[in-house]
């Protein structure tokens, strides 16, 4: 099925938020998605956007997205990080995710980035297999490290003692 893949607009914010919530449920973390509609509008479409987003539409309905942002690699230079690629459950298996993935890679290449990267859960075998089949390298030896705001606060308090 051929979807219309385009850059997101502020009017897509509620659809983006719904896809984020759907992904959180899929990843077994439904209560972890704390973003609001205001956050999406501000950080994606405000004066200083922090992310870019491609959306997939069918019959003027957003059914998928690829949300990404620029990074910089000290080894490679300009990089894009694909934060999330999600297709709504009702539309999976129709090639829409592949279309979003392809458009993201094409856009990154055209913008001259030297590398794109993203994370995938090790239990999401279909995604891991898809990425490897597409020519991407899955780095099994790397661990993802995160520090949330409350942990940052605790760390700062600790070093200020």
Task: Mark whether 33 and 86 lie in a shared domain.
Answer: yes
Question: What's the predicted TM-score (pTM) here?
Answer: 0.91
Task: Mark whether 40 and 72 lie in a shared domain.
Answer: yes
Total number of domains constituting the chain: 2
In tens, the pLDDT along 79-134 reads 999 999 999 999 999 999 999 999 999 999 999 999 999 999 898 999 999 999 99
In tens, the pLDDT along 59-84 reads 999 999 999 999 999 999 999 999 99
Annotated catalytic residue, options 43, 69, 91, 131: 131
Residues with Cβ within 8 Å of 63's Cβ and at least 6 positions away in sequence, in order, are 3, 56, 57, 87, 88, 90, 91, 96
Q: Are 40 and 34 in contact (CB under 8 A)?
A: no
Q: Report the CATH number at residue 111.
A: 3.40.630.30
Q: Is 69 a catalytic residue?
A: no
Task: Mark whether 25 and 98 lie in a shared domain.
Answer: yes
Enclosing domain of residue 14: 4-118
């Amino acid at each position: 099925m051929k979807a219309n893949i385009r850059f997101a607009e502020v009017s897509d914010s509620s659809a983006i938020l719904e896809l984020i919530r759907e992904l959180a449920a899929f990843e077994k973390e439904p209560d972890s998605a704390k973003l609001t509609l205001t956050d999406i509008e501000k950080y994606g479409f405000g004066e200083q956007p922090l992310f870019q987003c491609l959306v997939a539409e069918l019959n003027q309905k957003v059914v998928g997205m690829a949300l990404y942002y620029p990074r910089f690699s000290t080894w490679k230079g300009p990089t894009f990080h694909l934060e999330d690629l999600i297709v709504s459950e009702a539309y999976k298996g129709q090639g829409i995710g592949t279309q979003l993935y392809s458009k993201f890679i094409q856009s990154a290449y055209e913008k001259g980035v030297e590398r794109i990267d993203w994370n995938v859960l090790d239990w999401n075998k279909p995604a891991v297999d898809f990425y490897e089949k597409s020519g991407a390298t899955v780095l099994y030896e790397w661990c993802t490290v995160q520090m949330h705001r409350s942990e940052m606060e605790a760390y700062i308090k600790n070093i200020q003692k």
